[in-house]
Amino acid sequence: MSEMQALHLSKEDFEERILPAQTALVDFWASWCGPCRAVGPIVDRLAEQYDGKAVVGKVNIDEEMELAQQYGVSTIPSLLFFQNGKVVNTLVGARSEGEYQQALNELLS
């Protein structure tokens, strides 16, 4: 069985998967960003840990600039937490896995 990974989101996927979700986490990143590469595996682990509880995805800002602009993402990595289609929390910069888990758990409680 292969490890689950976060969804690689296009604008269309974003509207179909993230906005209708009760709880979602989206990592805005870019391949040239060092801290983003550190956060990437954490986001994939969160996708596995929260499977069935929260939708976890990634948006490459080089491919989806419009989404990044729409959500005011100017610094990466930026992890946006959504509840019922609205951003309810944002963590900017590389953080620990525990911080991301805590933010998700607060939304799920």
Spot the catalytic one: 6, 7, 36, 55.
Answer: 36
Q: Which of 33, 24, 20 shows the shortest CA–CA distance to 62?
A: 33
Strand boundaries in the chain, DSSP class E: 7-8, 23-29, 55-60, 78-83, 86-92
Spot the catalytic one: 25, 26, 33, 67.
Answer: 33
Q: How far is CA 37 from CA 21, 32, 33, 83, in A?
A: 26, 8, 7, 26
- Pair of tokens at residue 73: 């993402």
Active site residue 33: yes
Q: Which residues are part of the catalytic machinery? A: 33, 36
